[in-house]
Amino acid sequence: MGDRELDNDEAGAMRGLFDDEEAAVADFFAPRRHTGAPEGAVREKPTHYSAISATLYTEDLQRLAGLVAELKKRGYSRANKSLVIREALRQMDLDLVPPQR
């Protein structure tokens, strides 16, 4: 602001900026997304996909990461683990799966 004095309107606006200090701190560290929807509106969950958790061996994770890296190197900038897994599922032939011991 420099050496200029604040007039009463500006000073009042500055003071009122953090009237609710708790909310200001919470908003700073976890800002709400501004979606344009009214506050408190419930957003519908997407139905075209579902998040899952899967357990993989470390060598499988390394191979997966390597495949993603190779795809990105080849120009597939949006490649990720999900894409590789989806593509593997799409190509899987159950007749080629070895019998269980």
Q: Is residue 13 part of a domain?
A: no
Q: Is residue 88 part of a domain?
A: yes
pLDDT at 2 over 60: no
Q: Is residue 47 part of a domain?
A: no
* CB-count burial class (<10 Å; 0-12, 13-18, 19+) for 29: exposed
Q: Which domain holds residue 70?
A: 58-96
Q: Is residue 9 part of a domain?
A: no
Provide the number of structural domains found in the chain.
1
Mean pLDDT confidence for 71-85: 96
- Rounded distance between C-alpha atoms, residue 89 and residue 26, angstroms: 42
**pLDDT at residue 20, as a whole number:** 72
**pLDDT at residue 83, as a whole number:** 96
Q: Is residue 12 part of a domain?
A: no
Q: Where are the alpha helices (DSSP H) in 1-101?
A: 8-16, 21-29, 58-73, 81-91
| pLDDT tens sequence across 24-77 | 777 777 766 666 667 667 888 888 989 999 999 999 999 999 999 999 999 999
Q: Is residue 52 part of a domain?
A: no
